[in-house]
Amino acid sequence: MKELLYIEIPTPNLAKVTNWLQSIWQPSAGTKVITPDGIRLQFGSSNGELSVFVWQLQRTTYLKIFQWGERLIPQADRIKQQLVAEIRAVFPQKYPVPPEIEQSPSIFAALAEAYPKTVHFFQKMPNGEYDLNRVYWWEKRWRDSVKNPQQPQEVIFSSSSTNKEREYDLIYIGGALGVIHAAVMAQKGYRVLLVERLPFGRMNREWNISRDEFQSLINLGLFTPQEFESVIAAEYADGFSKFFDAYNPPHLKAAVLHTPKVLNVAIDAEKLLRFCGDKLRQAGGDIWDETEFVRADISDTEVTVKLTHLPTQTSRQATARLLIDAMGTASPIAWQLNGGRAFDSVCPTVGAVIKSGFAPEVWDKKYGDVLNSHGDISRGRQLIWELFPGGNGELTFYLFHYHQVHPDNPGSLLEMYEDFFTILPEYRRCDMEQLVWKKPTFGYIPGHFSTGDRDRTVAFDRLLAIGDAASLQSPLIFTGFGSLVRNLERLTTLLHTALQHDLLTAQHLNQIRAYQSNISVTWLFSKGMMVPTGKTLPPQRINSMLNTFFGLLANEPPEVADTFIKDRTDWFTFTRLALIAARKNPALLVWIVEMAGSKDLIRWLGSYMSFNLDALRNLLMGGWFPSWLKQSQPWLEKKYPGLWLKLLSLNYQLRHAQAVTDLKYEIDRNTISSSS
Write the pLDDT tens digit of every residue in 433-442: 999 999 999 9
Give the integer Cα–Cα distance in Å for 486 and 174: 19
Q: Which of 548, 533, 611, 609 is nearest to 579 (CA)?
A: 548
The parent domain of residue 38 ranges over 2-90
Residue 427 included in any domain: no
Band of pLDDT at residue 177, cut at 50, 70 and 90 = confident
Identify the three-state secondary structure at position 24: helix
**Region of residue 220 (phi > 0: left; psi between -120 and 50: alpha; otherwise: beta):** alpha
Average confidence (pLDDT) over 69-78: 85
**CATH number of the domain enclosing 70:** 3.30.310.50
Give the integer Cα–Cα distance in Å for 499 and 321: 9
**What is the count of structural domains for the chain?**
1
Residue 165 included in any domain: no
The whole-number pLDDT of residue 456 equals: 64
Residue 46 included in any domain: yes
Residue 393 included in any domain: no
Band of pLDDT at residue 450, cut at 50, 70 and 90 = low
Band of pLDDT at residue 52, cut at 50, 70 and 90 = very high
Confirm if 108 and 124 have CB atoms less than 8 A apart: no
Residue 589 included in any domain: no
Residue 22 included in any domain: yes
The whole-number pLDDT of residue 573 equals: 87
Residue 50 included in any domain: yes
Residue 135 included in any domain: no
Band of pLDDT at residue 468, cut at 50, 70 and 90 = low
Question: How remote is the C-alpha of 346 from its chain's centroid?
Answer: 6
Identify the three-state secondary structure at position 450: coil
Q: How many CB atoms lie within 10 A of CB 158?
A: 10
Q: Largest alpha-carbon pair distance within the chain?
A: 94
| Residue 566 neighbours by CB under 8 Å, 6+ apart | 210, 213, 262, 474, 482, 486
Band of pLDDT at residue 670, cut at 50, 70 and 90 = very low
Residue 501 dihedral angles phi and psi, to the nearest 5°: -105, 10
